[in-house]
């Protein structure tokens, strides 16, 4: 019998237990790539060089960079420095001491999309950057803690928003997580703010990302003239972490954990 993907009443694909294996492999490779790049994040290196290393490692591993050619995007990763919120385009600009950056990779392995990002620190870490990175990582984990059948997508957003705002930081509203699996982006939009008990109900077999972007200042963003790079309007520092996850019968499986325990922190 052919395994057809099943859409629930909210238009969200429900995957079979066998399909978890595809995400495990793809997610593990995406995490391995983020582990691999860590030692290369040093002052003087360009983000273009980091992108090339990511590209070559992915190809050598039998995978394809999902972002390459995606809606006209021409790189294998997004690298977002300091006040860049997301979708920073790798370029010939050199990293300098004190920069913080998010590296976001999505690989396609055997048709499955593994999407993950982490924060990296170049050289010396300031106290305020360290605090922001710590809050953002905790926000992602508190969101993941909400994932189990019967809870709602609103619970994920509410948990993240409540925590972040209690730390006097802000949650970006203009970008969200997303369903994924055999496709890069699918229903639902996984927003990182919201009200408890609202939104679609989580069911076993859903695959999606949670990827909160947190700003030290206001939540507002704007897109630069390259049509991709999103920055904070007030130029405040921004951070992001992303995992691809699946809903299990009893809770959650994280597909993009580092086998080296390197998801956080990724420096020192
Ligand atoms: N990986 C990003 C995400 O988390 C998407 C990047 S799309 C790109 O959804 F075209 F900007 F690379
Ligand atoms: Co994503
Ligand atoms: Co991503």
Hunting for tokens 């890069």 — which residue is that? 184
pLDDT digits (tens, 9 = 90+) for 40-87: 999 999 999 999 999 999 999 999 999 999 999 999 999 999 999 999
SS3 state at 84: strand
Whole-number Å distance, alpha carbon 1 to ligand 2 midpoint, is 32
| For residues 107-134, average pLDDT | 98
Hey, which of 67, 80, 140, 211 would you mutate to test ligand 1's pocket, going by the most ligand atoms within 8 Å of its Cβ? 67
Which two three-digit tokens encode residue 100?
């913080």
Q: Is the dihedral of CA 247, 21, 107, 264 positive or negative?
A: positive
Residue 231: phi, psi to the nearest 5?
-125, 160
Which atom belonging to ligand 1 lies closest to the Cα atom of 71? Answer: 10
- For the chain, give percent helix, strand, coil, nearest 5: 30, 25, 45
pLDDT digits (tens, 9 = 90+) for 164-221: 999 999 999 999 999 999 999 999 999 999 999 999 999 999 999 999 999 999 999 9
Is the pLDDT assigned to residue 1 strictly greater than 80? no
According to the model, what pLDDT value does residue 267 have? Answer: 73
Question: What is the Cα–Cα distance from 178 to 161, expressed in whole angstroms?
Answer: 17
Question: What is the Cα–Cα distance from 120 to 56, expressed in whole angstroms?
Answer: 20
Residue 117: closest CA among 71, 70, 66: 66
Question: What is the Cα–Cα distance from 26 to 37, expressed in whole angstroms?
Answer: 17
| For residues 125-135, average pLDDT | 97
User: Of the ligands numbered here, which is closest to the C-alpha atom of 67?
Assistant: 1
Q: pTM higher than 0.95, yes or no? A: yes
| CB-facing half-sphere around the CA of 109: CA atoms within 13 A | 26
Could you tell me if the CB of 174 is within 6 A of ligand 1? no
DSSP result, 182-210: SSSSEEEEE-S---TT-SPBP-TT-EEEE
From residue 103, how far is each of 11, 35, 99, 162, 259 by CA, in Å? 30, 11, 13, 26, 18
């Amino acid at each position: 019998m052919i395994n057809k993907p099943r859409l629930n009443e909210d238009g969200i694909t429900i995957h079979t237990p066998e399909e978890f294996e595809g995400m495990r492999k793809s997610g593990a490779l995406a995490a391995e790539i983020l582990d691999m790049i860590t030692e290369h994040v040093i002052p003087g290196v360009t983000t273009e060089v980091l992108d090339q290393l990511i590209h070559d490692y992915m190809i050598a591993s039998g995978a394809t960079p999902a972002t390459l050619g995606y809606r006209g995007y021409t790189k294998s990763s997004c690298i977002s420095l300091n006040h860049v919120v997301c979708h920073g385009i790798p370029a010939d600009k050199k990293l300098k001491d004190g920069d913080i950056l998010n590296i976001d990779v999505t690989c396609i392995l055997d048709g499955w999309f593994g999407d993950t990002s982490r924060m990296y620190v170049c050289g010396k870490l300031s106290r305020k950057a360290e605090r922001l990175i710590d809050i953002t990582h905790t926000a992602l984990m508190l969101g993941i803690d909400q994932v189990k059948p019967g809870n709602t997508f609103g619970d994920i957003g509410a948990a993240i928003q409540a925590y972040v705002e209690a730390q006097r930081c802000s949650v970006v509203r203009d970008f969200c997580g997303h369903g994924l699996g055999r496709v890069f982006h699918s229903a639902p939009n996984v927003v990182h703010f919201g009200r408890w008990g609202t939104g679609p109900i989580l069911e076993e077999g859903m695959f999606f990302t949670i990827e909160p972007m947190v700003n030290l200042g206001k939540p507002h963003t704007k897109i630069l003239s390259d049509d991709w790079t999103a920055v904070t309007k007030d130029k405040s520092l921004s951070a992001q972490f992303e995992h691809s996850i699946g809903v299990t019968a009893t809770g959650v499986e994280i597909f993009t954990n580092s086998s080296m325990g390197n998801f956080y922190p990724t420096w020192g």
